[in-house]
Amino acid sequence: MKLLMILMLEALPLLCYADSGCKLLEDVVEKTINSDISIPEYKELLQEFTDSEAAAEAMGKFKQCFLSQSHRTLKNFGLMMHTMYDSIWCIKSN
């Protein structure tokens, strides 16, 4: 799942760095870990990042990985992402 997360986030056309005003990345992460958002809604919300049906299908499978996780795991994943955004290494690299 970690590899899939990295590949998915790498595929997004990031226009800025996380936590330096990049609301795009933060929104995508929140939508990904939100268990209230279904796969069709997720695909629709992120359709601007897909250029083919295969990419849309991959996004659906990616979202399904998160839908099958417990709420505790999703909460911890969100915490991990925020910790990475706020780390000293990320601040220094900007």
Tell me the pLDDT tens digit for each residue of 37-66. Answer: 999 999 999 888 888 999 899 999 999 999
Tell me the pLDDT tens digit for each residue of 3-31. Answer: 666 656 655 544 444 444 567 778 888 99
DSSP string, 53-85: HHHHHHHHHHHHHHHTS-HHHHHHHHHHHHHHH
Task: Look at residue 67 in the predicted model and tell me its pLDDT.
Answer: 92
72 has pLDDT over 90: yes
